[in-house]
Structure 1
Amino acid sequence: MAGTVAGMAAYIRARIDLGTLVPGDKLPPTKNLMQQFNLSDNAVYRAVAILKAEGYVVSQQGRGVFVSDRRALIAGEKRIKGIVRPGEVINHKSSSRVQAPDWVAQHLGEGECVNRVRTVTRGDLVLQASQSWVHTDIAAVVPEIDEPQACDPTWQAVYTDRSGKPVQVASKTVDARITTAEDRAALGLDEDAAVVVMRSIYVSEDRVIGVGEGIYAPGQQIALA
Protein backbone atom coordinates (compact mmCIF):
# COMPACT_ATOMS: atom_id res chain seq x y z
CA MET A 1 0.00 0.00 0.00
CA ALA A 2 1.40 3.37 -1.01
CA GLY A 3 2.24 5.87 1.70
CA THR A 4 1.42 9.57 1.67
CA VAL A 5 3.45 12.76 1.61
CA ALA A 6 1.75 13.95 4.80
CA GLY A 7 2.43 10.59 6.49
CA MET A 8 6.16 10.70 5.79
CA ALA A 9 6.40 14.33 6.94
CA ALA A 10 4.42 13.55 10.10
CA TYR A 11 6.59 10.54 10.95
CA ILE A 12 9.87 12.45 10.63
CA ARG A 13 8.41 15.49 12.40
CA ALA A 14 7.32 13.28 15.32
CA ARG A 15 10.78 11.71 15.61
CA ILE A 16 12.34 15.17 15.76
CA ASP A 17 9.80 16.37 18.34
CA LEU A 18 10.43 13.26 20.47
CA GLY A 19 14.19 13.73 20.26
CA THR A 20 15.00 10.46 18.49
CA LEU A 21 16.30 12.63 15.66
CA VAL A 22 18.38 15.55 16.91
CA PRO A 23 19.89 18.64 15.26
CA GLY A 24 22.70 17.59 12.95
CA ASP A 25 21.33 14.11 12.23
CA LYS A 26 21.22 13.27 8.53
CA LEU A 27 18.06 11.95 6.89
CA PRO A 28 18.40 8.71 4.91
CA PRO A 29 19.00 9.01 1.14
CA THR A 30 15.97 9.54 -1.11
CA LYS A 31 16.10 5.92 -2.32
CA ASN A 32 15.88 4.63 1.25
CA LEU A 33 13.00 6.99 2.08
CA MET A 34 11.17 5.83 -1.07
CA GLN A 35 11.41 2.24 0.12
CA GLN A 36 10.62 3.01 3.75
CA PHE A 37 7.45 5.01 3.01
CA ASN A 38 6.50 3.36 -0.28
CA LEU A 39 6.60 6.69 -2.12
CA SER A 40 7.86 7.96 -5.46
CA ASP A 41 10.94 10.14 -5.56
CA ASN A 42 8.75 13.20 -6.28
CA ALA A 43 6.58 12.45 -3.25
CA VAL A 44 9.68 12.15 -1.04
CA TYR A 45 10.92 15.52 -2.33
CA ARG A 46 7.55 17.08 -1.48
CA ALA A 47 7.59 15.67 2.05
CA VAL A 48 11.12 16.95 2.59
CA ALA A 49 10.06 20.33 1.18
CA ILE A 50 7.32 20.53 3.83
CA LEU A 51 9.84 19.80 6.59
CA LYS A 52 12.26 22.37 5.16
CA ALA A 53 9.60 25.07 4.97
CA GLU A 54 8.57 24.31 8.57
CA GLY A 55 12.18 24.69 9.70
CA TYR A 56 12.64 21.07 10.77
CA VAL A 57 15.37 20.19 8.27
CA VAL A 58 17.90 21.96 6.05
CA SER A 59 19.75 20.95 2.90
CA GLN A 60 23.53 21.12 2.66
CA GLN A 61 24.86 21.24 -0.88
CA GLY A 62 26.38 17.91 -1.84
CA ARG A 63 25.95 16.45 1.65
CA GLY A 64 22.24 15.77 2.09
CA VAL A 65 19.37 16.83 4.35
CA PHE A 66 19.96 17.40 8.06
CA VAL A 67 17.80 18.03 11.12
CA SER A 68 17.91 21.70 12.05
CA ASP A 69 17.39 23.31 15.43
CA ARG A 70 13.78 22.82 16.40
CA ARG A 71 11.51 25.83 16.77
CA ALA A 72 8.23 25.98 18.69
CA LEU A 73 5.09 25.66 16.60
CA ILE A 74 2.04 27.76 17.44
CA ALA A 75 -1.09 25.60 17.42
CA GLY A 76 -4.13 26.43 15.34
CA GLU A 77 -6.40 26.90 18.37
CA LYS A 78 -3.96 29.51 19.71
CA ARG A 79 -3.97 31.23 16.33
CA ILE A 80 -7.76 31.54 16.57
CA LYS A 81 -7.23 33.42 19.82
CA GLY A 82 -5.03 35.86 17.99
CA ILE A 83 -1.67 34.92 19.49
CA VAL A 84 1.29 35.98 17.36
CA ARG A 85 5.03 35.71 17.81
CA PRO A 86 6.99 38.76 18.96
CA GLY A 87 7.67 41.14 16.09
CA GLU A 88 4.88 39.80 13.87
CA VAL A 89 2.33 42.19 12.40
CA ILE A 90 -0.96 41.12 10.79
CA ASN A 91 -1.81 43.26 7.76
CA HIS A 92 -5.41 43.00 6.61
CA LYS A 93 -5.55 43.61 2.87
CA SER A 94 -9.18 43.27 1.80
CA SER A 95 -12.65 41.89 2.42
CA SER A 96 -15.11 41.27 -0.40
CA ARG A 97 -18.17 39.21 -1.27
CA VAL A 98 -17.29 36.51 -3.80
CA GLN A 99 -18.64 33.23 -5.12
CA ALA A 100 -17.01 30.38 -3.23
CA PRO A 101 -14.22 28.70 -5.24
CA ASP A 102 -14.91 25.04 -6.02
CA TRP A 103 -12.69 23.62 -3.26
CA VAL A 104 -14.18 26.05 -0.72
CA ALA A 105 -17.75 25.26 -1.82
CA GLN A 106 -17.11 21.58 -1.06
CA HIS A 107 -16.91 22.56 2.63
CA LEU A 108 -18.79 25.84 2.94
CA GLY A 109 -21.50 25.29 0.35
CA GLU A 110 -22.03 26.95 -2.99
CA GLY A 111 -22.89 30.62 -3.31
CA GLU A 112 -21.64 33.89 -1.89
CA CYS A 113 -19.16 34.11 0.95
CA VAL A 114 -16.84 36.73 2.42
CA ASN A 115 -13.25 36.53 1.19
CA ARG A 116 -10.67 38.06 3.54
CA VAL A 117 -7.02 38.49 2.55
CA ARG A 118 -4.10 39.27 4.84
CA THR A 119 -0.37 38.95 5.27
CA VAL A 120 1.80 38.43 8.34
CA THR A 121 5.04 40.37 8.33
CA ARG A 122 8.13 40.91 10.45
CA GLY A 123 9.63 44.21 9.41
CA ASP A 124 9.83 44.19 5.61
CA LEU A 125 9.72 40.38 5.45
CA VAL A 126 6.43 38.73 4.47
CA LEU A 127 6.16 35.51 6.48
CA GLN A 128 2.72 34.37 5.38
CA ALA A 129 0.00 35.26 2.88
CA SER A 130 -3.43 33.92 3.71
CA GLN A 131 -7.07 34.02 2.69
CA SER A 132 -10.21 32.97 4.47
CA TRP A 133 -13.68 32.39 3.06
CA VAL A 134 -16.38 32.96 5.68
CA HIS A 135 -20.08 32.08 5.53
CA THR A 136 -22.18 35.21 5.03
CA ASP A 137 -24.33 34.29 8.06
CA ILE A 138 -21.36 35.13 10.27
CA ALA A 139 -21.63 38.78 9.18
CA ALA A 140 -24.85 39.06 11.21
CA VAL A 141 -22.77 38.45 14.34
CA VAL A 142 -19.44 39.87 13.17
CA PRO A 143 -20.25 42.66 10.67
CA GLU A 144 -16.56 43.61 10.70
CA ILE A 145 -15.78 40.75 8.34
CA ASP A 146 -17.25 42.84 5.51
CA GLU A 147 -15.04 45.81 6.34
CA PRO A 148 -11.52 46.40 4.91
CA GLN A 149 -9.95 46.01 8.35
CA ALA A 150 -8.74 43.32 10.73
CA CYS A 151 -10.96 41.81 13.41
CA ASP A 152 -9.56 42.07 16.93
CA PRO A 153 -8.07 39.56 17.54
CA THR A 154 -9.62 37.32 14.82
CA TRP A 155 -13.09 36.87 13.33
CA GLN A 156 -13.26 33.41 14.91
CA ALA A 157 -12.56 34.79 18.40
CA VAL A 158 -15.04 37.65 17.97
CA TYR A 159 -17.74 35.24 16.79
CA THR A 160 -17.12 32.97 19.78
CA ASP A 161 -17.28 35.89 22.21
CA ARG A 162 -20.49 37.37 20.79
CA SER A 163 -22.41 34.20 19.97
CA GLY A 164 -21.21 31.99 22.80
CA LYS A 165 -20.53 29.28 20.20
CA PRO A 166 -16.88 28.18 20.16
CA VAL A 167 -15.08 27.94 16.83
CA GLN A 168 -12.76 24.99 16.38
CA VAL A 169 -10.27 23.83 13.76
CA ALA A 170 -11.96 20.72 12.37
CA SER A 171 -9.10 19.71 10.10
CA LYS A 172 -5.86 20.85 8.55
CA THR A 173 -4.19 19.64 5.38
CA VAL A 174 -0.59 20.53 4.63
CA ASP A 175 1.27 20.19 1.36
CA ALA A 176 4.23 21.77 -0.40
CA ARG A 177 4.61 23.22 -3.86
CA ILE A 178 6.93 25.31 -5.96
CA THR A 179 5.75 28.91 -5.90
CA THR A 180 3.37 30.25 -8.51
CA ALA A 181 3.63 33.81 -9.82
CA GLU A 182 0.82 34.74 -7.41
CA ASP A 183 2.68 33.19 -4.47
CA ARG A 184 5.86 35.09 -5.32
CA ALA A 185 3.98 38.37 -5.58
CA ALA A 186 2.16 37.81 -2.27
CA LEU A 187 5.31 36.80 -0.38
CA GLY A 188 7.69 39.18 -2.11
CA LEU A 189 9.91 36.36 -3.39
CA ASP A 190 12.24 36.93 -6.34
CA GLU A 191 12.54 33.33 -7.52
CA ASP A 192 10.98 29.88 -7.37
CA ALA A 193 11.06 28.25 -3.94
CA ALA A 194 9.28 25.50 -2.04
CA VAL A 195 6.47 26.83 0.13
CA VAL A 196 4.07 25.17 2.52
CA VAL A 197 0.36 25.50 1.74
CA MET A 198 -1.97 24.81 4.64
CA ARG A 199 -5.75 24.63 4.44
CA SER A 200 -7.95 24.77 7.54
CA ILE A 201 -11.64 24.08 8.10
CA TYR A 202 -13.38 26.04 10.88
CA VAL A 203 -16.56 24.70 12.47
CA SER A 204 -19.01 25.80 15.12
CA GLU A 205 -21.71 23.49 16.46
CA ASP A 206 -20.87 20.85 13.82
CA ARG A 207 -21.32 23.37 10.99
CA VAL A 208 -18.57 24.62 8.71
CA ILE A 209 -18.50 28.42 8.94
CA GLY A 210 -15.15 29.19 7.36
CA VAL A 211 -12.26 27.85 5.32
CA GLY A 212 -8.71 29.18 5.33
CA GLU A 213 -5.60 28.83 3.20
CA GLY A 214 -2.14 29.99 4.26
CA ILE A 215 1.00 30.11 2.14
CA TYR A 216 4.17 30.19 4.23
CA ALA A 217 7.45 31.64 3.04
CA PRO A 218 10.47 29.29 3.10
CA GLY A 219 11.81 28.61 6.59
CA GLN A 220 8.81 29.97 8.48
CA GLN A 221 7.09 28.23 11.39
CA ILE A 222 3.56 27.08 10.67
CA ALA A 223 0.43 26.62 12.73
CA LEU A 224 -0.38 22.94 13.28
CA ALA A 225 -3.09 21.79 15.63
Structure 2
Amino acid sequence: MHKQAVLVRAAGHITIATGVLGTSYTDSGLTAGASYYYVVSAINPGHESFNSTEAGATLPFVQLKFDETNGTTAADATGSGWNGTLVGGPLWAAGKSGNAVDLDGINDYVALPAGVVSSADNATISAWVYLDAVSNRMRIFDFGSGTSTYMFLTPKNAANGKIRFAIKNNGSSEQIIDGTSALAVGGWHHVAVTLNGATGTLYVDGVNVGSNSTMTLKPSNMGSTRQYWIGRFQYV
Protein backbone atom coordinates (compact mmCIF):
# COMPACT_ATOMS: atom_id res chain seq x y z
CA MET A 1 0.00 0.00 0.00
CA HIS A 2 1.43 3.35 -1.03
CA LYS A 3 1.00 6.56 0.87
CA GLN A 4 0.66 9.84 -0.97
CA ALA A 5 1.05 13.40 0.30
CA VAL A 6 -1.03 16.50 -0.23
CA LEU A 7 0.91 19.76 0.13
CA VAL A 8 -1.03 22.91 0.96
CA ARG A 9 0.27 26.46 0.93
CA ALA A 10 -1.40 27.33 4.20
CA ALA A 11 -1.56 31.13 4.11
CA GLY A 12 -4.15 31.06 1.34
CA HIS A 13 -5.21 27.43 1.89
CA ILE A 14 -4.17 26.62 -1.65
CA THR A 15 -3.43 23.00 -2.54
CA ILE A 16 -0.24 23.13 -4.58
CA ALA A 17 0.52 19.42 -5.00
CA THR A 18 -1.16 16.04 -4.64
CA GLY A 19 0.10 12.52 -5.13
CA VAL A 20 3.60 13.34 -3.89
CA LEU A 21 5.40 10.07 -3.20
CA GLY A 22 8.85 11.37 -2.35
CA THR A 23 10.13 13.23 0.72
CA SER A 24 10.67 16.61 -0.95
CA TYR A 25 8.84 19.08 -3.16
CA THR A 26 9.95 22.33 -4.82
CA ASP A 27 7.46 25.20 -4.87
CA SER A 28 7.97 27.61 -7.78
CA GLY A 29 6.76 30.96 -9.06
CA LEU A 30 7.14 32.64 -5.65
CA THR A 31 7.73 36.32 -4.89
CA ALA A 32 11.04 37.57 -3.47
CA GLY A 33 10.63 38.99 0.03
CA ALA A 34 7.28 37.28 0.64
CA SER A 35 6.53 34.76 3.40
CA TYR A 36 4.96 31.38 2.71
CA TYR A 37 3.54 28.76 5.05
CA TYR A 38 2.90 25.08 4.38
CA VAL A 39 1.17 22.03 5.80
CA VAL A 40 1.20 18.48 4.50
CA SER A 41 -1.14 15.53 5.01
CA ALA A 42 -0.77 11.84 4.13
CA ILE A 43 -3.34 9.84 2.19
CA ASN A 44 -3.88 6.11 1.80
CA PRO A 45 -7.01 4.37 0.48
CA GLY A 46 -10.02 5.62 2.42
CA HIS A 47 -8.14 7.81 4.88
CA GLU A 48 -6.37 11.19 5.11
CA SER A 49 -4.29 12.27 8.09
CA PHE A 50 -4.61 15.54 9.95
CA ASN A 51 -2.49 18.40 8.62
CA SER A 52 1.08 18.60 9.84
CA THR A 53 2.38 21.43 11.98
CA GLU A 54 2.65 24.55 9.84
CA ALA A 55 6.13 25.35 8.52
CA GLY A 56 7.11 28.66 6.98
CA ALA A 57 9.82 30.40 5.02
CA THR A 58 10.51 33.96 3.94
CA LEU A 59 12.25 34.41 0.60
CA PRO A 60 15.14 36.86 0.41
CA PHE A 61 14.74 40.22 -1.33
CA VAL A 62 18.25 39.85 -2.68
CA GLN A 63 20.96 37.23 -2.33
CA LEU A 64 24.51 37.77 -3.53
CA LYS A 65 26.48 34.54 -3.48
CA PHE A 66 29.63 36.14 -4.93
CA ASP A 67 30.31 32.88 -6.74
CA GLU A 68 31.62 34.58 -9.88
CA THR A 69 35.29 34.29 -10.79
CA ASN A 70 35.70 37.37 -12.97
CA GLY A 71 33.99 40.55 -14.09
CA THR A 72 32.38 43.34 -12.07
CA THR A 73 28.86 41.93 -11.55
CA ALA A 74 27.65 39.88 -8.58
CA ALA A 75 24.41 38.21 -9.63
CA ASP A 76 21.30 38.29 -7.48
CA ALA A 77 20.50 34.61 -6.91
CA THR A 78 16.79 35.35 -6.33
CA GLY A 79 16.39 36.28 -9.99
CA SER A 80 14.89 39.65 -9.04
CA GLY A 81 17.65 41.61 -10.73
CA TRP A 82 19.17 43.32 -7.68
CA ASN A 83 22.67 42.62 -8.98
CA GLY A 84 25.73 44.03 -7.23
CA THR A 85 28.40 46.04 -9.03
CA LEU A 86 32.02 45.74 -7.95
CA VAL A 87 33.66 49.18 -7.70
CA GLY A 88 37.34 50.08 -7.25
CA GLY A 89 38.82 46.77 -8.38
CA PRO A 90 37.87 44.15 -5.77
CA LEU A 91 39.26 40.68 -6.37
CA TRP A 92 37.50 37.34 -6.55
CA ALA A 93 38.76 34.83 -4.00
CA ALA A 94 37.88 31.56 -2.28
CA GLY A 95 35.02 32.00 0.17
CA LYS A 96 33.32 30.19 3.02
CA SER A 97 31.38 28.20 0.44
CA GLY A 98 32.30 28.71 -3.18
CA ASN A 99 33.82 32.07 -3.98
CA ALA A 100 33.84 35.49 -2.32
CA VAL A 101 34.64 39.10 -3.09
CA ASP A 102 37.89 40.39 -1.56
CA LEU A 103 37.83 44.10 -0.61
CA ASP A 104 41.09 45.92 0.09
CA GLY A 105 39.72 48.11 2.92
CA ILE A 106 40.71 51.30 1.10
CA ASN A 107 38.48 52.09 -1.85
CA ASP A 108 36.89 48.80 -2.95
CA TYR A 109 33.19 48.18 -2.40
CA VAL A 110 30.08 46.58 -3.89
CA ALA A 111 27.13 48.78 -4.89
CA LEU A 112 23.53 47.56 -5.01
CA PRO A 113 20.73 49.23 -7.00
CA ALA A 114 18.71 52.01 -5.35
CA GLY A 115 15.67 50.97 -3.35
CA VAL A 116 16.66 47.42 -2.38
CA VAL A 117 15.03 47.62 1.07
CA SER A 118 12.64 50.50 0.42
CA SER A 119 9.60 48.25 0.95
CA ALA A 120 10.98 46.30 3.91
CA ASP A 121 9.24 46.88 7.23
CA ASN A 122 10.85 43.80 8.75
CA ALA A 123 14.16 42.49 7.49
CA THR A 124 17.09 40.20 8.12
CA ILE A 125 20.46 41.10 6.62
CA SER A 126 23.22 38.54 6.94
CA ALA A 127 26.68 37.83 5.58
CA TRP A 128 29.73 35.65 5.94
CA VAL A 129 32.69 37.92 6.73
CA TYR A 130 36.45 37.32 6.92
CA LEU A 131 38.42 40.25 8.38
CA ASP A 132 42.15 40.58 7.73
CA ALA A 133 42.15 43.59 10.07
CA VAL A 134 39.56 45.68 11.89
CA SER A 135 39.37 49.41 12.55
CA ASN A 136 36.79 52.00 13.54
CA ARG A 137 34.28 53.00 10.86
CA MET A 138 34.80 49.93 8.71
CA ARG A 139 31.50 48.81 7.20
CA ILE A 140 30.11 45.38 6.46
CA PHE A 141 27.22 47.22 4.82
CA ASP A 142 25.92 50.79 4.80
CA PHE A 143 22.63 51.65 3.09
CA GLY A 144 21.40 55.24 2.91
CA SER A 145 21.52 58.59 1.18
CA GLY A 146 24.26 60.38 3.09
CA THR A 147 24.97 61.28 6.69
CA SER A 148 21.36 62.01 7.71
CA THR A 149 19.68 58.78 6.55
CA TYR A 150 21.37 55.39 6.76
CA MET A 151 21.57 51.98 8.36
CA PHE A 152 24.86 50.19 8.76
CA LEU A 153 26.70 47.29 10.35
CA THR A 154 30.28 47.93 11.45
CA PRO A 155 32.60 45.28 12.91
CA LYS A 156 33.99 47.87 15.35
CA ASN A 157 32.44 51.20 16.25
CA ALA A 158 34.43 54.19 17.45
CA ALA A 159 32.42 54.78 20.64
CA ASN A 160 33.06 51.51 22.48
CA GLY A 161 34.96 49.24 20.09
CA LYS A 162 32.12 46.73 19.63
CA ILE A 163 30.28 45.42 16.58
CA ARG A 164 27.31 47.74 16.00
CA PHE A 165 24.17 48.08 13.93
CA ALA A 166 22.61 51.53 13.69
CA ILE A 167 19.75 53.12 11.78
CA LYS A 168 18.96 56.80 11.35
CA ASN A 169 16.38 58.63 9.27
CA ASN A 170 16.18 62.25 8.15
CA GLY A 171 18.55 63.55 10.82
CA SER A 172 17.04 61.59 13.73
CA SER A 173 19.06 60.11 16.57
CA GLU A 174 20.63 56.76 15.81
CA GLN A 175 18.84 53.65 17.05
CA ILE A 176 21.59 51.21 17.99
CA ILE A 177 22.25 47.55 18.65
CA ASP A 178 25.68 46.86 20.13
CA GLY A 179 27.36 43.49 20.41
CA THR A 180 29.69 42.35 23.17
CA SER A 181 33.00 42.94 21.37
CA ALA A 182 34.49 43.77 18.00
CA LEU A 183 34.11 41.13 15.29
CA ALA A 184 37.15 38.86 15.49
CA VAL A 185 39.95 39.11 12.96
CA GLY A 186 40.84 35.96 11.03
CA GLY A 187 38.47 33.14 10.13
CA TRP A 188 34.98 33.25 8.68
CA HIS A 189 32.18 34.61 10.87
CA HIS A 190 28.46 34.78 10.16
CA VAL A 191 26.83 38.08 11.11
CA ALA A 192 23.13 38.88 10.97
CA VAL A 193 20.79 41.70 11.95
CA THR A 194 17.08 40.92 12.37
CA LEU A 195 14.54 43.75 12.53
CA ASN A 196 11.07 42.62 13.55
CA GLY A 197 8.65 45.27 14.75
CA ALA A 198 10.11 47.09 17.74
CA THR A 199 12.81 44.48 18.31
CA GLY A 200 16.19 44.39 16.65
CA THR A 201 18.66 41.57 17.29
CA LEU A 202 22.32 41.20 16.36
CA TYR A 203 23.83 37.75 15.89
CA VAL A 204 27.42 36.59 15.48
CA ASP A 205 27.94 32.95 14.49
CA GLY A 206 24.33 32.20 15.43
CA VAL A 207 24.65 33.65 18.95
CA ASN A 208 22.52 36.60 20.10
CA VAL A 209 25.12 39.21 21.07
CA GLY A 210 22.84 42.23 21.41
CA SER A 211 19.27 43.44 21.10
CA ASN A 212 17.12 46.56 21.28
CA SER A 213 13.40 46.28 22.03
CA THR A 214 12.61 49.97 21.45
CA MET A 215 13.30 50.26 17.73
CA THR A 216 10.88 52.60 15.98
CA LEU A 217 12.74 53.00 12.68
CA LYS A 218 12.56 50.41 9.93
CA PRO A 219 14.31 50.13 6.55
CA SER A 220 11.25 51.32 4.62
CA ASN A 221 11.33 54.64 6.53
CA MET A 222 14.47 55.56 4.59
CA GLY A 223 12.60 55.48 1.27
CA SER A 224 14.28 54.64 -2.03
CA THR A 225 17.77 55.65 -1.02
CA ARG A 226 20.52 55.57 -3.64
CA GLN A 227 23.64 54.41 -1.79
CA TYR A 228 23.49 50.69 -1.00
CA TRP A 229 27.07 49.77 -0.27
CA ILE A 230 28.93 46.72 0.96
CA GLY A 231 32.32 47.65 2.38
CA ARG A 232 31.90 51.45 2.18
CA PHE A 233 30.38 53.98 4.58
CA GLN A 234 28.24 57.09 4.05
CA TYR A 235 30.78 59.50 5.50
CA VAL A 236 32.81 59.82 2.29
Q: Structure 1-normalised TM-score?
A: 0.29
The structure richer in strand per residue is 2
Q: Structure 2-normalised TM-score?
A: 0.28
The structure richer in helix per residue is 1
For the pair shown, which has the larger CA radius of gyration, 1 or 2?
Answer: 2
